[in-house]
């Protein structure tokens, strides 16, 4: 899981640099907001699933 997050973060940084070099700052901000939303939801459900598994044991 950590490796996937790291790879997606590196890809996001690369896309942000490309958009900023093209002076498309709105698209760069949109990418960061979408990434943050998806990552937050992913972490929330991962935490929820891990606590649910602990309660069953």
Cα 5 to Cα 39: distance, rounded to the nearest angstrom: 8
> Could you tell me the residue range of the domain that residue 41 belongs to?
2-56
Cα 2 to Cα 43: distance, rounded to the nearest angstrom: 11
Cα 18 to Cα 21: distance, rounded to the nearest angstrom: 5
Cα 19 to Cα 26: distance, rounded to the nearest angstrom: 9
- Into how many domains does the chain fold? 1
- pTM (two decimals): 0.65
Cα-based distances in Å from 29 to 10, 22, 44, 46: 16, 13, 22, 26
Q: What is the pLDDT along the chain (57 residues), one digit of tens a residue?
A: 678 778 888 888 998 898 889 998 888 899 899 988 888 888 888 777 777 666 666
């Amino acid at each position: 899981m950590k490796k996937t997050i790291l790879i997606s973060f590196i890809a996001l940084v690369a896309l942000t640099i490309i958009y900023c070099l093209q002076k498309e700052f709105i698209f760069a901000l949109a990418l960061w907001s979408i990434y943050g939303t998806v990552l937050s939801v992913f972490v929330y459900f991962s935490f929820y699933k891990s606590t649910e598994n602990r309660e069953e044991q």
